[in-house]
Amino acid sequence: MKRKRFTEEQIIGVLREHEAGAKAGDLARKHGVSEATLYNWKAKYGGMDVSDAKRLRALEDEKGRLKNLLAEQMLEASALRELLSKKW
């Protein structure tokens, strides 16, 4: 079964329903997720607005891109060091 991906807007909407007094079990059944997923969402997105969640996603994407760039640079530097350390 394919996993459904929820957007930040949808997640925050579900959390708002929970804050309004809906039970976690009912919300989980209604949206097809586990209660644990709801609590994980609450830990990550609790108290956020949609714009805050979008900003968080953008920062996470940028962080991943920067980590990849750093890893590439470190590999290149390591390869150059290895090449220069060899005796001709």
As a whole number of angstroms, the distance between CA 55 and CA 65 comes to 15
| Amino acid code (one letter) for 9 | E
> The CATH number of the domain where 24 resides is what?
1.10.10
Per the domain annotation, does 37 fall within a domain? Answer: yes
In the predicted model, what is the mean pLDDT of the chain? 90
**Domain-located, residue 30:** yes
Question: Hey, is 25 helix, strand or coil?
Answer: helix
Find out whether 12 and 42 touch, Cβ atoms under 8 Å: no
Judge whether 53 and 45 are in contact, CB under 8 Å: yes
- Averaged pLDDT, 56-63: 94
User: Tokens standing for 22?
Assistant: 């809906």
Tokens 């940028």 identify what position? 62
In terms of residue numbers, what domain contains 29?
A: 8-85
Count of domains forming the chain? 1
Q: pLDDT tens for residues 9-47?
A: 899 999 999 999 999 999 999 999 999 999 999 998 888
Global pTM value: 0.63
Please report whether residue 13 resides in a domain.
Answer: yes
